[in-house]
Amino acid sequence: MEIKNIDKSNMREVITKSPEQLTNGLDLAKNIKIEGVFKNVIVCGVGGSALPANILNSVVVTKIPLLVHRDYNLPASANEDSLVVCISYSGNTEETVSALEKAIHKNITAVAIATGGKIEKICEEHNVALTKIPAGIQPRSATGYLFSALATILTNCGIIDDISEDILNTARELEKRNPALEKEGKALAKKIAKKIPIVYASNNFKAAARIWKIKFNENSKIPAFHNYFPELNHNEMVGFTNSKNVSGFYVLIIKDAQDHPRTLKRMDLMSSILKKKGVKNSFIETVEGSMALKLFEVLLLGDWTSYYIAINNKIDPTPVEMVEEFKMMLNK
């Protein structure tokens, strides 16, 4: 069967063109500037819409604390000195709509990123700045748009240093490397076949591990898990004690040469222990370059790997029918 007969929504094209999102997101948010002196930033979003904030926290050091809020309403730390950034790709995510409404009710400065929906209507009614991004893809596939838009907004507010050149360079490099990453992801997908993937990384790359896990769930339609070093060596590794129960896992370890030397040693030892227990595992080595380039290249490889697991299993990687059914049940 041809891929196009499985990939009915053409996710392959979305992944192929995803580096362009980084460039486009910069332009979409360039005129958004929120006046004020803020003491913290609270990024509200769930699912794929929350991912850009996690990546941003790995790429830059914000001048004020940045908290990611994945829930209804607002956290206790939200007050009149906060900047609330509501991100909902669809514009209809009920948790994020709730957060935006709460910010307006409490007279807390807010800004939003969405394709439209309820978020856009609320922004129009209450004069809240909105960065509107292109619709038509899954939220988890729009990370480039959302990340660049978020970075631009925070740069314009003076909350982070300008990283637009780094983002543009990352987009150019990813376009060059994308064919090779597709080939690598296709090969990795075969290794993971019929296994449950677990993704490990250092604290610096735990956002990437989490996103890989999400892509396995939503693209591949399989269970997956993630954790990070050194934390996992103090608890989770003990779960591999009984080798009779662990052969169904495949562990991927994201490894960066700049990780703490002791963390790198932990990774090597963990790989060795897993092999002795009969757990297959592989290292995902990062490239040289900026943190943005390292992260987005790793994420692009995760896209291709999860995509080809779905294709190999003759599953359309785009729809998330269980999520949609669950939302319908919630609304009954």
> Which structure tokens are listed for 243?
């080798």
Rg (CA), the chain: 20
Closest CA to 210 of 311, 310, 299, 93: 299
Contact present, 55 and 160 (Cβ < 8 Å): no
The residue annotated as part of the active site, out of 102, 218, 255, 294, is 218
| Cα angle value 245/276/207 (rounded, 5°) | 75
DSSP letters, 1-29, are: --HHHH-TT-HHHHHHHTHHHHHHHHHHT
Query: What is the C-alpha to C-alpha distance for residues 42 and 197, in angstroms, rounded to an integer?
Result: 31
Whether 186 sits among the annotated catalytic residues: the reply is no
Query: What is the C-alpha to C-alpha distance for residues 304 and 310, in angstroms, rounded to an integer?
Result: 10
Whether 332 sits among the annotated catalytic residues: the reply is no
Crossing angle (nearest 10°) for helices 19-28 and 291-312: 130
The residue annotated as part of the active site, out of 234, 244, 314, 332, is 234
| Residue 274 C-alpha from the chain's centroid | 27
> Which structure tokens are listed for 273?
């222990």
Whether 234 sits among the annotated catalytic residues: the reply is yes
Active site residues: 218, 234, 327
